[in-house]
A and B are shown apart, each in its own frame.
Chain A
Amino acid sequence: MHEDVIGAPAPPPLPPAAGDAQHWWPAPSPPPAPLVEHRFSFHGDAREYFRIWIVNLALGILTLGIYSAWAKVRTQRYFHGNTRLAGVPFEFLAKPWPILKGRLIAVTLFVAYVLASQFSLAWQFALIGVVLLATPWLLVRGLAFRARYSAWRGLVFRFIPDYGEAYIRYLLLLIPTVLTLGMLYPWVQGQQKRFIVEHHRYGGHGFRFLVSSGRFYIPYLIAWGVMTALIFVFFFAVAALAAASALSGKGNGTPPVWIMMTIVGGFYAGYFVIFVFLQAALLNLVYNHVDIGGRRLRSTLKGHRLLAIYALNTLAVLASAGLLIPWAKIRLARYRAESLSLLAADDLEGLVAERAGEIDATAAEVDGLFDIDIGL
């Protein structure tokens, strides 16, 4: 009658000579240990999560939002607890209070902003400035919070705060990005991802990011190129239509509205497609270059699969007035987990707790006053 938690079958070995895998592996240690692909999997169920979600929402409404912090813990526990790596689930350990604190601060800022907008523009801009200045700090706090309260196999993750770097990469680099009219943006994106990855630790290993920020230009240049082509086609279609209706001389010289609407709709659909493919390419680029003590993540997201999921999710959410949001979230989480695996030469049993390894001086502060979670 008792069902084992780790009911998943033993992880299947990596198919031999998987081309890419060998290429990724920089100089393996002398006796080349066989690589094992440890899979991620997601076990959440849409009907089960719907009940959790709707009760959370109802209690949030009844308590005027106070309960939302508890709701967030339950939601995160659900998604962590149903995501497994090599058959072992993740855990989310946070308590609601720091989340409530973070939300109260965010709401206070928002109310202050609304009030300030009534009294003077100067105050409004001052508040925008404060939020802008605080963003890198908040980002670091949020990452540290999430890492500290995420665990796998009884060991928690760590995020080593580095505020100076955060300010450089999230605020200072905005200036050259704007000055170069966005041409620097892919590189800045790479720098930001590197910051996030390389300040994470787990199991006695710092994460490493094995790709240069220049590589981020490839997906962006492709996306920009396709976008330019799309804009060209769009204007060509409009011009052709205008010419055709002018030549036919029928009516009053303007094409029917439905054709115009179709063209505009097609343009937005094209934009959406490019956006989703770009997102898939970026996620793959980041995950495929994360190294955790010689172990590598492997992400095989496909743009067209992601597009199908997003498109159906969007339609379902709109058509159900939001009631299918849980279903949409579960579908997305399942696909993302199924597309991810960890390539390792070991059985993942020999990782050690962070505190048993290097102890960072800043470790003590995380339980302090600023142990808040940001991100509404």
Chain B
Amino acid sequence: MNAFSAHYFDGITSRMHAVTVSRDGAGSVRVSGDGIERLAPAADLRLSPRLGRTPRTIAFTDGARLLVSDHPLLDDWFPSEDRLLRLVDRLERHAHAVAASIALCVAALVAAVVWGIPWAADRIAGQVPLAVEAKLGEGVLGQLDQYFGFEPSTLAAEREAELRSRFARVVAAAAMADTHRLEFRSAEEIGANALALPGGTIVVTDQLVDVLSDDRAFDAIVAHELGHQRHRHALRQTLRSSFVIVLAAFFAGDVSAASSVVVGVPTFLLQSHYSRGFEEESDRHAFDTLEAMGESPAWFAEAMRGLNEAHEDYGEEVKYLSTHPTGAERIAAAEAAGAAFLERHPEKFREVPGYDACEDEGICEDDEYEDEDEDCDDCAEAEVDCADDGVDAEPGDCPIET
């Protein structure tokens, strides 16, 4: 077969001519039929690259063109110099090349998410001057005060001073610059919480101070927040989220108007994945700082339990929105760190949460009492009274804790 049918357009009008294309021996191409009779050297014609089963065009130098369906003869007659596109066409038709492409793209996507984005975001975060970050943080605190119902703290001045001095000790134990500021706020809506703002400020809510059973739990919380500060998590999180959006937009392209959903869901999932990593890093920072202060990391577990209980009182949706999802694993990790601490410092066994003199050492108040005065049978009862309502019993009846 030495001819094929095609449709010819002269490039001047939209008139379509059904023609036959044939080739003579001298390398010329003849187009004839439907009022067209045209001869041109094959070397002057340009064939569009092969692309699936898409119709192809053969362009004349004067703008006229032939429209043909893909045909094996075409590439013989009009060999293309474009080796790149010939290669691409072969790859697209080759099952192994397609499989390799899928593997490469999936691997690249996974690598970008697991290593690429954190790496790039952290490198850039390292370049951001602290002054810029501090500016950002000021803006955030202003917004919290304005829109999230943050009120000035109602803590008593002595109590605040006490906590501030504890904070200074935690900062010193963590060997961090004393540029870190501590802010107290009353936040009824958000409840018990602490936040690390970009630029070094830590915000603690009055509600958090109220729920912590022990000041060492407060140390644990601020040590955790200082971990966020040391590793600049707020800034890194912001940068990572922006990179995730860029990446997702690149892959999703112009799929649909739904692309906001297509971009939004992976962004959300990855963000929570990244922030879980940051929480763990800050937890470890809290354990190390507590240890440096000679306090047990188990105080962090105690603080988390306090927060959990407080948020159950507040209602579940608050727990959902909380920036510190309190997982059982994090409490377990703190407990484990506390146990290791106790092994290294057995003398500190009285200074861990849940220490019970009676159970742990056999120094029970009842026994103590009986040792001193065996006749006093009623005393145990009196003690119960004291614990229950403390009103009926006379002050003198109650055993005084030492």
Contacts and interface: CB of A to CB of B under 8 A. Distances in A.
Contact of B54 (A77, A153, A322): A77
A311 B109 CA distance: 24
B255 A328 contact: yes
Centre residue among B11, B52, B64, B85 by max chain A CB count within 10 A: B52
Given A51-B98, A54-B102, A153-B14, A254 B52 contact: no
B207 to A, nearest CB: 16
A61 B106 CA distance: 11
Contacts of A54: 98, 101-102, 105
Contacts of A127: none
A190 interface: no
Given A154-B9, A260-B317, A353-B13, 12 more contacts: A1-B1, A2-B4, A51-B93, A70-B88, A81-B55, A118-B127, A118-B132, A152-B14, A154-B14, A155-B9, A314-B255, A356-B12
Contacts of B261: 272, 314, 318
Given A5-B7, A325-B252, A353-B11, A88 B67 contact: yes
A52 B51 contact: yes
Given A118-B132, A155-B14, A318-B262, A323 B52 contact: no
Interface in B319-353: 320
Interface size class of B (residues with CB under 8 A): 35 or more
B141 interface: no
Contacts of A276: 257
Interface of B: 1, 4-7, 9-16, 48, 51-55, 57, 63-65, 67-69, 71, 84-85, 88, 91-93, 97-98, 100-102, 104-106, 108-109, 124, 127-129, 132, 135, 251-258, 261-262, 265-266, 312-313, 315-317, 320
Interface string A142-185: 00000000001111000000000000000000000000000000
Contacts of B85: 70
Contacts of A101: none
A165 to B, nearest CB: 26
Contacts of A351: 13-14
B98 A311 contact: no
Contact of B251 (A55, A89, A118, A322): A322
Contacts of A279: 257
Nearest to B254: A329
Interface string A344-365: 0000111111001000000000
A352 B128 contact: no
B98 A55 contact: yes
A285 interface: no
A257 interface: yes
Contact of A118 (B109, B128, B258): B128
B343 to A, nearest CB: 40
B16 A349 contact: yes
A49 B52 contact: yes
A133 interface: no
Given A55-B101, A61-B105, A272 B317 contact: no
B109 A322 contact: yes
A74 B14 contact: no
B12 A353 contact: yes
Interface in A239-288: 252-254, 256-257, 260, 272, 275-276, 279
B69 A5 contact: yes
B334 to A, nearest CB: 26
Interface in A41-96: 45, 48-52, 54-55, 57-59, 61-62, 70, 74, 77-78, 81-82, 88-89, 91
A349 B14 contact: yes
B269 to A, nearest CB: 10
Contacts of A356: 12-13
A5 B255 contact: no
A74 B88 contact: yes
B308 to A, nearest CB: 14
A257 to B, nearest CB: 5
30 contacts: A5-B68, A48-B52, A49-B52, A51-B92, A54-B101, A55-B88, A55-B91, A55-B92, A55-B98, A70-B88, A77-B54, A78-B51, A82-B54, A89-B67, A91-B57, A118-B132, A153-B14, A155-B9, A253-B315, A257-B320, A279-B257, A309-B256, A310-B256, A314-B261, A318-B262, A322-B252, A323-B102, A348-B14, A353-B13, A356-B13
Contacts of B68: 5
A203 B14 contact: yes
B262 A317 contact: yes
A55 B88 CA distance: 8
A203 B108 CA distance: 46
A82 B69 CA distance: 11
A3 interface: yes
B98 A275 contact: no
A154 B63 contact: yes
B317 A257 contact: yes
B365 to A, nearest CB: 35
A310 B92 contact: no
- Of the candidates B10, B69, B265, the one having the most CB atoms from chain A within 10 angstroms of its own CB is B69
Q: Which 7 A-B pairs have the closest CB atoms?
A: A154-B9, A254-B315, A58-B101, A351-B14, A81-B54, A314-B258, A153-B14
A311 B258 CA distance: 8
B313 A317 contact: no
A329 B312 CA distance: 46
B318 to A, nearest CB: 8
Given A5-B67, A154-B9, A329-B255, A314 B262 contact: yes
Given A91-B57, A254-B315, A272-B261, A321 B256 contact: no
Nearest to A253: B315
A159 B108 CA distance: 39
Contact of A58 (B105, B132, B258, B315): B105
Contacts of B64: 154
Contacts of A275: 257
B292 to A, nearest CB: 33
A218 interface: no
A52 B316 contact: no
Given A5-B7, A91-B57, A322-B109, A349 B15 contact: yes
A229 interface: no
Given A51-B92, A82-B54, A317 B316 contact: no
Given A52-B92, A58-B100, A328-B255, A77 B265 contact: no
Contacts of B1: 1
A148 B22 CA distance: 31
